[in-house]
Amino acid sequence: DAMVIQNPRYQVTQFGKPVTLSCSQTLNHNVMYWYQQKSSQAPKLLFHYYDKDFNNEADTPDNFQSRRPNTSFCFLDIRSPGLGDAAMYLCATSRAPGENQPQHFGDGTRLSIL
């Protein structure tokens, strides 16, 4: 059974039209992450939540925001998507703060911009 669920798997939006990607987890993990991954590149961390504590990466564009209304759900909002935002968006979770806790990934949402 999927434990980190991302919806939808594929999302198409128009240039400049706001889009929201969703992630839910059944693992009851404290930490939830959003990554952006482009072809042949490493996952790039955008931000993460430790419980309700939001941690933004210094180089994450202001265009990207996140919400975590409860332990199970986390959303990625892209306010005005540009062509450069086309990518795979990965949600991951982990227990914290244990050092040996791996991150568990959802299947990802592939975002296309028209």
Partner 1 sequence: GQNIDQPTEMTATEGAIVQINCTYQTSGFNGLFWYQQHAGEAPTFLSYNVLDGLEEKGRFSSFLSRSKGYSYLLLKELQMKDSASYLCAVRSPAHAGNNRKLIWGLGTSLAVNP
Site residues, partner 1 (CB under 8 A)? 31, 40-43, 45, 48, 50, 55, 88, 90, 94, 96-100, 102-108, 110
Name the minimum Å distance from CB 31 to partner 1: 6
Residue 58: CB minimum distance to partner 1, A: 12
Residue 75 DSSP SS3: strand
Contact 113, 85 (CB under 8 A): yes
Residue number with CB closer to partner 1 (28 or 55): 55
Comparing CB distances to partner 1, the nearer of 80 and 94 is 94
User: Which phi and psi (to 5°) does residue 65 adopt?
Assistant: -135, 165
Residue 60 sits at the vertex; the CA angle it makes with 54 and 64, to the nearest 5 degrees, is: 75
Nearer to partner 1, 15 or 54 (CB): 54
Closest to partner 1 by CB, 70 or 100:
100
**Please, what is the minimum distance in Å from the beta carbon of residue 111 to partner 1?**
13
Q: How far is the CB of 45 from partner 1 (least distance, A)?
A: 6
The one-character DSSP state at 102 is P
Give every CB contact of residue 80 below 8 A, 6+ residues apart in sequence: 16, 17, 18, 63
